[in-house]
Structure 1
Amino acid sequence: MIGIIMFFTALFMLLIGFPVAFTFGAVSVVFGIIAGIVEIYRYADPDMSLTSILIDGFSEGMFMFDFMPHRIWSIMNNTILMAVPMFIFMGIILQKTGLAERLLESMGFLFGEVRGGVAISTVLVGTLLAASTGVVGASVVAMGVISLPVMLKYKYNTELATGTICASGTLGQIIPPSIVLIILGDVFQVPVGDLFKAAVWPGLMLVAAYILFILIVSFVKKDMAPAIPADPSRGSKSKQVVKALIDIIPSLTLIILVLGSIFAGVATPTESAAVGCLGALLLSIMYKTFSNSTVKEAALESVKITSMVFAILIGATAFSMVFTYTGGDQLVEHFMMNLPGDEKLGFILFTMLAIFVLGFFIDFVEISYIIVPILVPIATNLDINPVWFAILIAMNLQTSFLTPPFGFSLFYLKGVVPATVRTIQIYKGVLPFIIIQILILALLALYPEIFGIQSTL
């Protein structure tokens, strides 16, 4: 039970605001020592003094941490994880080139004359940004600054406008190249390219569901997403189409270079990430926004974000090591294997519900490195397709960016919206999109063949 108590202690400390990496590390050391003392006490001689038990238990508990340098060294030598900082750098460079602004302005006026047109263009731009950057914060902030004022100006429903922006910004979690998929590829020990291929159709299905919802709402309740009158100052419709294509083609080219090289087997995800970095720099030169200061700022931000991810990874490694040592993984496996009903279906339903609930409170990185490693051996024993299971988790983790009260997408948007937009309106706005995500997740769980994925249920 020590491992289970350790898990809930770490979760409680995260909820009250302690830093993630330090929480995992500190809890691991404390409970590692406790486990060592319990182990010595269990087999101690009756005449052994309490002081000797504590000293020997402390030594026993700290002994397992002698293996930490080897674990950290294996993380440092993991070529898959090298793609993380490069994709982050690519996304930040693209955000600073004004790519999002160009796409939103062009497509907003292109679809503006259709009911819900600006909201639809926001979803489409979110899809392109997801496939070219994968950085949720940058996408949400960019669309919040550019698209939201346009929608509010033309009397769009505030809940619909904010919900669309938040949902569109999180598409980078499921549409490749995705940091979540790279992390899950490392945890599951499956090729990241296979996860990228498997995630394409679920991601596009989610985009289609968003657009269908917006169209239905805008035609049923016409005042929620009115059409925008044509702007003669922007030229003829044909000129607007040409301008939109000019703004879209560079990002599409980058997407083809990055994802196409992976899908064709020409490059690994790490190599394609390097291609993406080079492409992002070339785009910044093309848009005449390249400067040494821009590259320096992007590099510093990339280092900060990457350091956070790897610090959490090291803390999570220590946590999982102590959790396994105390037998917590065996207890969880016993519980999962004895769920009522069909073993595999019960396991999938329970894990999806648990990850969904945890997503209300903690970040996708912690879930990926703490919760998922506990589930992977159980899924292997049940002969569950790891690619399918990983995509289910990725789709579920995407929902965690939208769920109140701690959804990161909600915080990103709240930081840039006008004071007239209340937090409760943002919360209400994302609810329909959360339901859509749950429906697509259920469809993926029950009928994965629709998405070209084989399950083992």
Structure 2
Amino acid sequence: MELFFLLLLIVIMATALGSGYPVAFALPGSAIITVLAAAGAGYLFTGSTDAFFESGGPSQWLSAGVTNLRGVYWEPERDTLIAIPLFIFMGIMLQRSKIAEDLLVTMAQLFGPIPGGLGISVVVVGALLAATTGIVGATVVAMGLISLPAMMRNGYSNSLSSGIIAASGTLGQIIPPSIVLIILADQLASAVDQAGQARQDLYKEVTGELVMPSEFGVVSTSAGDMFLGAMVPGLVLVGLYILFILAVALIRPKLAPAVPYEGEYDFKFLGQVFLAMVPPLALIVLVLGSIIGGIATVNQAGAIGAVGAMIMAGYRLHPGGKLRYVPAIIALVGLGIIGYVLSNYDTNVQNIQNADDVEGVRLAIFGVVLVVFAIIWSGFRAYMTEDALTGVMVETAKTTSLVFIILLGAAMLTAAFRAFGGEELVKHFLEGLPGGFWTKFAIVMAVIFVLGFFLDFIEIAVVVVPIVAPILLADPEANVTAVWLGVMIGLNIQTSFLTPPFGFALFYLRGVASKAVKTIQIYTGVLAFIGLQLVALVIVAVYPPLVNYLPMRSSLTAETAPPPINPALQYCVENYVAQEFEQNGDAIKSAVEQAASLNISYLPEDLQDDWNDGIEKARESFTLMEEIESLKVEQAEKAVDYRPQHTVVRALQRDARRLADEIEDLDTSISRGYGDTERQRERRAELEAEREALLAQIPESWSEVQRAYGQVTAADRRARGMYRRTVDQAYEPVAELQQIIASADQLAALESELDALAADAPDMDGETADERFKEVERMFGDVAGAREIRSLLSDARREIDARTPNLERALDYIADAQALFAQEVEWRTRAQSELLPELRAYDEAIQGTIGLRQQPRLPREQALFVASCNAEHRDISLNF
């Protein structure tokens, strides 16, 4: 019966959407009706309202959607969706202020004289508007009203013109900042949690190990990562559009002729180009650059964009006059002052040390006041001119409310879908497909593509993604990142605006196009661009670094980058070291041997032992890395025979697990007395027999093959673990010895404090000794390698402060501390001139390889290598 109600849910939803019923009510309405129908049927036929649910009851599933939505979006840590109204405001303000129109006209004048130039200008403007607005409807309407008549007037094919405008208008779905990317990032964040747990459970089940190595974890994403990941694919799509238009213009010039500019390319035209292009480009740089540079979060960048759009609207909406650009100039001056202050002063009011700091704070306040004044002035202008600000706020509120209502409805629909076992059904269907991950992925992408004919991007993102994303992300075969999956879905969803018969971009364009442009011409015009989008999908699927590299690079080069010792980075870090050992191994070995020959005879014995052990460990690291590389080759060779059997056996075990889940569900139903228990017992016996038959198909040689391959992987793990411990032990003495020697002057400066303490100690009582000694102990505690001196002083203090003070023993401890102090100062001072330069040279020679794990963050060269390495998807399925 669960399947019946699942089908009923889908039919009700499809019927409501097909009849034109508002999406915001169709999604939750279909969920509520189906849940209530299931509860009523259960009460009538079995006497229990819970009978026809996978688990739980109607009250649980009716409230599940609202509970889940509140749990996700009402948490202070999950504030991603705050960016949505900010970017919507920015986009609508730029449209209402006609800045987008200025940009379009200027670009058409600039590129028109080259073959296909007018079409290329529309694509470029579409990309720029996408990077500033991300609102498809407004972009298509604006370009349809302005460009389509001009293209028709200059002899452009109606079909080509329609296709260019419709396709360019949809770039806002994939080029950041994009509303769909924010929603996808939010949906994928919870999908990653589910996928990570599923992968952990799978690893535990098939290997028997309780903890899965973190390097096998699912890579998460955020809105910022999605923006970075979508940037290159978006530019690839723009490039494909431009190449297509150029090809058409060169092969069939009549379809896309050159359009000469009737005016002159003089300083006046240059000024028009500057005013039309520089402010929007500057806003793009501020918004996206602040995210890429790690300066601002997505929400903060959205606020920057909204404020920037309002300031630009302030001068564009103004009728003219001397004061037209004054608010914008004031804002620029204020930002310049703030930038100068941040570069030259410490503006932390809690850390003001001198008059310069006070001056910096005053300048910062002055800069902020200027910017706030400019924002208020620009906002007042926008409010008073054509009532623009009010209109923008109303449209922003409407659009934002629509998004959040759909999110709530989708959460309720997803809860109902799960209530009737829909999620498990989809999971079992996808996992039962032959061909592994790529078959599942192709099916999902095909379904999303087809749904794009009928549904908007929000419905697809919030209904389909939560169901299929955990399944795809959990699969260790392709081991895809969440940002890659999100961008691929985003590219696919973009086609929902172009695909007939319900492509929204087609409707928008039809609404503003001349009657001379037939609907069939609009439909045929977009077909080539749909094909180009599919080509872009294939390109991104085949070469994942197009998506993954920028987020990885940004993460690893940021101030908050994870340290090189992070377990998730080790595979690529070791690949880098292996490459360096192969290319520069002789130079590194030479540096190690030169360090081994250094004269350390005057160092304390424990430091000598640590140094010699470190040198020996450094020598061992080369042998261990060779072993790792050898095992890597052996793994690849053994995988040739192991992979086919592994694929077959894991498929059989997966199907057996699915049957076991069904058996468990039947056991629950039988124990509760639901339905025909006798028929359920018969079905259980059938499933148990089917499960045993599946497990019997596992080849007899499987255990031996698995054991042989497992020995190699175990050896690889041991070798890598040994290598990591060895290089850590090799580098620790280098860093420690440098720190101790470099502190020679700091230690010598404490001589007067130690002598004064020794002189006053005989006359001290317990309370005075406790205070004086602890102060000096703290000073020695701040000096590297001075713990033993501090320990002797602590012993002396305890002797004086004891119930039965022993002054003689305390003075002996102090004398020992003074003698040790003299020895420490002597050898450190000598080592500072003789040994320290050699140590630093050795450190520089090995810190990028042997000492890499112990660095606070990856150096730039290594960070770029690791980012490039992690940007590739690595098949880890043989570890499961």
Task: Identify the match of residue 220 of structure 1 among 234, 245, 251.
Answer: 251
Residues 52 and 420 in structure 2, CA contact (< 8 A), matched pair in contact too: no
Hey, what does 1:16 align to over in structure 2? 19
Aligned with residue 228 of structure 2, among 182, 197, 203: 197
Size of the alignment, in residue pairs?
446
Gaps of 5+ in 2: 190-220, 319-380, 550-870, 876-880
Partner of 2:541: 445
- Structure 1 residue 447: deviation in Å? 2.1
- Contact kept, 8 Å, 1:15 with 1:362, in 2: the verdict is no
In structure 1, C-alpha distance between the alignment counterparts of 2:17 and 2:107, rounded to whole Å: 41
Aligned to 1:47: none
CA distance in structure 2 between the partners assigned to 1:69 and 1:208 by the alignment:
43
Partner of residue 143, structure 2: 143
Which range moved further: 63-72 or 83-92?
63-72
Following the alignment from structure 1 to structure 2, what is the Cα–Cα distance between the partners of residues 160 and 72?
Answer: 43
1:230 alignment partner, one of 261, 267, 273: 261
Q: Does 1:160 align with 2:191?
A: no
Structure with bigger RCO (C-alpha 8 Å, 6+ apart) = 1
Point out the more displaced range, 438-447 or 124-133. 438-447
- Give the distance between the partners of 2:235 and 2:269, measured in 1 at CA: 25
Cα distance in 2 for partners of 1:98, 1:263 equals 28
**Aligned 1:273-312 pairs, distance under 5 A:** 273-289=302-318, 290-292=381-383, 293-312=387-406
1:35 aligned to 2:25?
Answer: no
Counterpart Cα distance in 2 of 1:351 and 1:68: 23
Q: Which amino acid aligns with 2:20?
A: G
How many angstroms does 1:241 deviate by? 4.2
Q: After superposition, where does 1:275-424 map in structure 2 within 5 Å?
A: 275-289=304-318, 290-292=381-383, 293-341=387-435, 343-383=436-476, 384-424=480-520
Matched with 1:454 is 872
Write the letter of the residue equivalent to 1:24.
L
Q: Which moved more, 1:1-10 or 1:140-149?
A: 1-10
Q: 1:450 to 1:270 in 2, by over 3 A?
A: closer
Residue identity opposite 1:141 in structure 2: V
Written as runs of structure 1 = structure 2, the 5 A alignment for 1:61-140 is 61-74=58-71, 75-77=73-75, 78-140=78-140
Runs (5+) with no aligned partner, structure 1: 45-51
Distance 1:97 1:197 in 2: 28
Question: For residue 185 of structure 1, what is the amino acid of its counterpart?
Answer: A
Aligned equivalents of 2:51 and 2:419: distance in 1?
17
* The 10-residue stretch of structure 1 (427-436 or 94-103) with the greater mean CA deviation from structure 2: 94-103
Instruction: Write the distance in 1 (CA, Å) between the matches of 2:52 and 2:426.
Output: 25
Question: What SS is found at the alignment partner of 1:32?
Answer: helix
TM normalised by structure 2 equals 0.49
1:3 aligns to 2:10 (yes or no): no
Check whether the contact 2:42–2:50 (CA below 8 A) recurs between aligned residues. Answer: no
| Contact 1:33–1:60 (8 Å) recurs in 2 | no
- Identify if the C-alpha distance between structure 1 residues 122 and 332 changes in structure 2 by more than 3 Å, giving closer, same or farther: same
**2:289 aligned with 1:260:** yes
Residues 55 and 331 of structure 1: CA distance in aligned 2, closer, same or farther (over 3 Å) = closer
Q: Which structure 1 residue ranges, 4+ long, deviate > 6 Å from structure 2?
A: 54-59
- Which amino acid in the other structure matches residue 192 of structure 1? A
Counterpart CA distance in 1 for 2:135 and 2:114 is 29
Q: Displacement of 1:4 after TM fit?
A: 4.3
TM-score, structure 1 as length reference? 0.93
1:134–1:176 CA contact under 8 A, matched in 2: yes
- How many Å separate the matches in 2 of 1:405 and 1:456? 39
- For the aligned residues, what is the CA RMSD? 2.1
Secondary structure, in 3 states, of the residue corresponding to 2:514?
coil
Of residues 4, 18, 26, the one that matches 2:29 is: 26
- Are residues 139 and 86 of structure 1, via their aligned partners in 2, closer, same or farther at CA, if it must alter by over 3 Å? same
**Relative to structure 1, is the Cα distance of residues 71 and 439 closer, same or farther in structure 2, using a 3 angstrom cutoff?**
same
Shifted more, 258-267 versus 441-450: the winner is 441-450
Distance of 1:350 and 1:456 partners within structure 2: 21
Judged with a 3 Å threshold, the aligned counterparts in structure 2 of structure 1 residues 260 and 397 are, in CA distance, closer, same or farther, namely same
